[in-house]
Structure 1
Amino acid sequence: MKTSSFKPSYLASTLLLATTLGMASQSAMATELNIWIMSTTTQQQQDMKELLRPYLAKNPNLRVNVTVLNWESAWSKITAAAASGQGPDLLELGTTWVAAISSMGALEPLSAQQQNEVGGAKAFFPAVWGSTHRYDDTKIYALPWYADARAAFYRTDVFKKAGINPKDAFTNWGSFKQAMQKINGQMVDGKKIAALGYPGKNDWNVVHNLAPWIWNAGGDLLTADKKHSAINSPEALQAITYYTSFAAEGLVPSSALEKDSSQIESGFFNGQYAVIFTGSWILRQLNTPKAKGGQMDSVAAHNFGVESYPAGLKGNQTFFSGSDLAIMKSSKNKDEAWKLLSFMTSREAEVNYSKMSGMLPARQDAANDPTLMADPHYAEFIAQVKNGRHYPSVAGWGPLESVYLKNIGNMFDIVAGVKGKYTPQAIKQALDVTANEANDVLDESR
């Protein structure tokens, strides 16, 4: 079940690995903690070793066994552990997973004192703090570790050549469409560049890609009472029709609809698209030399800027999620697990992990750390994503997102002209089917 909030392309190939970190005492007095982590870097084991090194140096009698899961199988492994009580002491959960796992009674609630020790709700971005508990439960079951937010990345040289001020272009939906129409097909380095690149049904981010447009039209993924799907509301239909119109009008190449997010990002790097909407992790790629697998030597790396989503009638919010850390109720070492959890969500640790992974710190003081803000593009990104929003924190979000992912993905067959003629009515019919299936899932989860 693919319900995680963040899945860069290399995660799917990560193998289940385990290693022992720390200068552990061989005596019987040593405490052993098991932690499950998903891979957000290309060398997760080594990076975890470096991240935990200062903590383990101060706790020589602590042994930490780190198991790296891939996102594709993590959901089934974690739910199995939750059901059996045979899981780790500490585990990473995608922000959309916390409500479901806590509803299974598998997570240890964090006391008010513990929350205060790490700064409480005010220390973290509000959007990700909302993921630490169910919307109908005031108990906190996790702490935010890192954040995933989205913004527009655009080619400054292409906009300049077209005589377009980016600030004007990203003002609202109307100005954005006009800018894309003007840019589309411009010759750059001897080849035509497409105005916009976004993936279609072969991408795991389909729901994430649509959410900001729906929110900015005044819609949502669920009704206000969290009991029914709102994917076919007039506001959602307006947003999705607007979004898909870029592909229908040729402003997004038909070939892009066959790609995933990673391939769209590569297309931005090599000059296929003037604008894409994606996360902070590509900043790290744009700052990394080609010899180390990065894109620092590309034309895009020297000619890009960051802007917010163009505003709809109800604002310009962005998708804001990430991963949390939680203690399992079955842990026999809850005190030690808490100490490790508080270290991993400290300002220092979150800054260091951001540098390793390219993800945003979930702590606001860490996100605004001078060493990170020294990168002007990172500072631009932070300025654009503070108005972030997360999905409703409901227990049934996992299976619900799978329904959305499947059906909205299939909707792109209509957009691509593979399945019938593209019309607003055809899109509405597809969304009605999606909402009916989603409501069945929501009924089962209550």
Structure 2
Amino acid sequence: MPHPSIRSRTGRSRTGRSRTERSRTARSRAFRSTRTATALAAAGLLLATAAACGGGTSEGGGDSAPKTLTYWASNQGTSLEHDKQVLQPELAKFEKQTGIKVQLEVVPWTDLLNRILAATTSGQGPDVLNIGNTWSASLQATGGLMPFDAKAMGEVGGAQRFMPSALASAGAQGKDPAAVPLYSLAYGLYYNKKHFADAGLQPPKTWKELVDSGKKLTKDGRYGLAVEGASIPENVHHAFIMGQQYGADFFTADGRPSFDTPQAAEAIKAYVDLLGKDKIAAAGNAEYSENQSLRDFATGKASMLLWQATTSGLTNLGMKPGDWGVVPIPLPDPVPAGGRPITSFVAGINIAVFKNTDNRAGALKFVKFMTSDDEQKILNKTYGSLPSVPSAQADPAFQTDDLKVFRSILEKSAAPLPQVPKESEFETLVGTAMKELFADAASGKQITTEDVRAKLKTAQQKMSG
């Protein structure tokens, strides 16, 4: 999902995600939060929530409105208005080239998944839309998105144009992709260089070092770390990353939910403990869901931040390049038995075509335009993300220290979230459980592994039911 900041996102989420300011009002009015547990667990309720705008009703799409398109864009910048300012000049460029006018709506991450699910049921949706890449298999299973078969893929330049890892997060294995990659992201640990230098600290490499550094940096009204405790996508992203480190998979090999495991409970407890037992994040962070943690880091109220690539998110909030550094998210030391050295998931935003579009040809032209080298450079430079098209990555803008770290993470220590039909329900149910745990921790309750397992058991029962 994606952060704001882009979230994969992501999703939501975020760059100003990813995962939202990136409402995601930078990345989520969260991705990247994206989505109430009951709403997603009970698809029927979801379907009742929002009517869509724009698209047609012909099965399989058509071309009855060749001069217009509707586009639902995910919130990637520091606000919905910021995204409009970024995208409108590019849409005007597309109209000048093709004669096709694009009607833009930037949708907050809090609303996006429900809006899409309602549209797939009613058959009334946009022509083109952004989706968090973690939702690809779930939305693919609804049948509401146009498959990118060999013909459609050829019309946007061919599958070989995209990073293999990004394309692998565009639908279930063995099926035609439900979308193509637009923005690529990874998670890292941002740290304030001055705060660390003043405290005589080095960037942490292990989870214990992160906690110990956070305690030394928590003083004089400043906290060692900021978290987004009420952001469902942020929560579930970290559940997955840390779950991988502890050996938790959340789904069995045949796609059945497996939330209530000792490994998952230990991983999630370690994350919630940052606010609860360790107290290196402020209790008020339990209510953060709209990139407030990004703002706290950018304004010096917190010294560290676990976030997706978000250069523009930080500079738009007043930081200067060089004020911060980025390293991979630390690992437990030692990594628990069965754990893996994973520090991110393969995050990003995909661009999809609504199956019932009445302008299939125009929609594919627009997808090709948005994934062209020129647009990949322009948009990913703005959002601080990585192009999903390798041929665009040679641009000097993507050779910064930050993006080199994120590229290395994607290549060496990132894993895709499960591409299973119920992945979006997993995000909502587990992310909401963590939101509740953060609220309990903020109220002073000591969170135990038994508490975490009870929440996970309830989430799994809702999924299975």
Structure 1 length-normalised TM: 0.80
Secondary structure of the residue that 1:64 maps to in structure 2?
strand
1:32-52 alpha-carbon deviations (Å, 9 max, x no partner): 333322332333334323223
CA contact (8 A) 1:210 1:240 kept: yes
CA–CA separation in structure 2 for the residues paired with 1:199 and 1:241: 15
Residue 369 of structure 1 corresponds to 394
Residue 456 of structure 2 corresponds to 434
Change (3 A) 1:68 1:241: closer
Change (3 A) 1:427 1:78: same
Q: CA deviation at 1:99?
A: 2.2
- Indicate yes or no: 2:59 matched with 1:36: no
Q: Percent identity?
A: 22
Q: CA deviation at 1:204?
A: 5.0
Change (3 A) 1:269 1:296: closer
Residue 110 of structure 1 corresponds to 148
1:55-106 alpha-carbon deviations (Å, 9 max, x no partner): 333323x333333333333333322321232323222222233323322222
CA contact (8 A) 1:96 1:391 kept: yes
Residue 318 of structure 1 corresponds to 344
Residue 337 of structure 1 corresponds to 363
Residue 159 of structure 1 corresponds to 196
Aligned residues: 408
Residue 423 of structure 2 corresponds to 397
Counterpart of 2:245 (choices 206, 216, 232) is: 216
Higher normalized strand content (fraction of residues) = 1
Structure 1 unmatched runs, 5+: 20-27, 289-293
CA–CA separation in structure 2 for the residues paired with 1:355 and 1:18: 30
Alignment of 1:24-103 (within 5 A): 31-41=67-77, 42-60=81-99, 62-103=100-141
Change (3 A) 1:270 1:234: same
Change (3 A) 1:148 1:29: closer
Structure 2 unmatched runs, 5+: 3-8, 13-18, 30-50, 55-63
Residue 178 of structure 2 corresponds to 141
Residue 318 of structure 2 corresponds to 295
CA–CA separation in structure 2 for the residues paired with 1:120 and 1:227: 33
Residue 305 of structure 1 corresponds to 325
AA of the residue aligned to 1:52 = L
Change (3 A) 1:385 1:86: same
Q: CA deviation at 1:394?
A: 2.0
CA contact (8 A) 2:286 2:435 kept: no
Q: CA deviation at 1:295?
A: 0.7
Residue 187 of structure 2 corresponds to 150
Residue 38 of structure 2 corresponds to none
Residue 239 of structure 1 corresponds to 267
Q: CA deviation at 1:219?
A: 1.7
Query: Is the radius of gyration larger for structure 1 or structure 2?
Result: 1
Change (3 A) 1:365 1:428: farther
Change (3 A) 1:334 1:432: same
CA contact (8 A) 1:308 1:316 kept: no
Residue 207 of structure 2 corresponds to 173
Residue 300 of structure 2 corresponds to 271
Alignment of 1:250-261 (within 5 A): 250-260=279-289
Secondary structure of the residue that 2:178 maps to in structure 1?
coil
AA of the residue aligned to 2:384 = G
Residue 22 of structure 1 corresponds to none
Secondary structure of the residue that 1:132 maps to in structure 2?
coil
CA–CA separation in structure 2 for the residues paired with 1:29 and 1:326: 18
Secondary structure of the residue that 1:323 maps to in structure 2?
strand
Change (3 A) 1:125 1:220: farther
Residue 229 of structure 1 corresponds to 258
Residue 44 of structure 2 corresponds to none
Alignment of 1:179-194 (within 5 A): 179-181=213-215, 183-185=216-218, 191=220, 193-194=222-223
CA–CA separation in structure 2 for the residues paired with 1:45 and 1:249: 40
Structure 2 length-normalised TM: 0.77
Q: CA deviation at 1:318?
A: 0.6
CA–CA separation in structure 1 for the residues paired with 2:84 and 2:170: 26
AA of the residue aligned to 2:318 = Q
AA of the residue aligned to 1:338 = L
Q: CA deviation at 1:9?
A: 3.5
CA–CA separation in structure 2 for the residues paired with 1:29 and 1:86: 15
CA–CA separation in structure 2 for the residues paired with 1:29 and 1:434: 47
RMSD between superposed Cα atoms in Å: 3.2
AA of the residue aligned to 1:83 = T
